[in-house]
Amino acid sequence: MAEDTPEAEQKSATEHKPVYYGDYLRLGQLLSCQHPESERLGRPAHDEMLFITVHQAYELWFKQIIHELGSVQAAFAGPVLDDRALTPVVRSLDRVREILRLLIQQIDVLETMTPLDFLDFRDLLYPASGFQSWQFRLIEIRLGLRAGQRVSYDGKGFNERLNAEDRARLTKAEAEPKLIEQLDAWLRRTPFLSHEGWTFEEVYRDAVRGQLEADAAQLAANRTLAESQREAQLKRLERELARFDALFDEASYEALRREGQWHMSRQALQAALLITLYRDEPACQQPFRLLSLLMDIDEEMTSWRNRHALMVQRMIGSRIGTGGSSGHDYLRAAADEHQVFGDLFALSTFLIARSTLPPLPKALRRAMGFSYEDAPDAA
Spell out the domain ranges in the chain. Answer: 25-177+278-337, 193-271+341-371
- pLDDT at residue 49 greater than cutoff 50: yes
Say whether 225 sits in a helix, a strand or coil.
coil
* Residue pLDDT, tens place only, 178-194: 999 999 999 999 999 99
**Residues 6+ positions from 212 with CB-CB distance below 8 Å:** 237, 240, 241, 244
* Residue pLDDT, tens place only, 228-258: 888 888 888 888 888 888 988 999 999 999 9
- Residue 254 class from Cβ within 10 Å (0-12 exposed, 13-18 middle, 19+ buried)? middle
Mean pLDDT for the chain overall = 88
Secondary element (H or E) of residue 198: strand 198-199
Q: What is the mean pLDDT of residues 206-218?
A: 81
Tell me which of 43-52, 255-264, 294-303 is least confident: 255-264
Between CA 299 and CA 307 the distance in angstroms is: 12
- pLDDT at residue 111 greater than cutoff 90: yes
Quick one: fold of 25-177+278-337?
Answer: Methane Monooxygenase Hydroxylase; Chain G, domain 1 (1.20.58)
Instruction: Look at residue 202 in the predicted model and tell me its pLDDT.
Output: 87
188: nearest Cα among 80, 280, 286: 80
Instruction: Look at residue 379 in the predicted model and tell me its pLDDT.
Output: 41
- pLDDT at residue 8 greater than cutoff 60: no
Instruction: Look at residue 224 in the predicted model and tell me its pLDDT.
Output: 84
| Percent above pLDDT 70 for the chain | 90
Instruction: Look at residue 152 in the predicted model and tell me its pLDDT.
Output: 76
Instruction: Look at residue 324 in the predicted model and tell me its pLDDT.
Output: 47
Instruction: Look at residue 231 in the predicted model and tell me its pLDDT.
Output: 84
Instruction: Judge whether 158 and 137 are in contact, CB under 8 Å.
Output: yes
136: nearest Cα among 54, 34, 58, 33: 58
Strand ranges inside 254-379, DSSP E: none
Between CA 129 and CA 327 the distance in angstroms is: 10
* Residue pLDDT, tens place only, 151-170: 876 666 677 788 999 999 99
How many other CB atoms are there within 10 angstroms of residue 255's CB atom?
A: 13
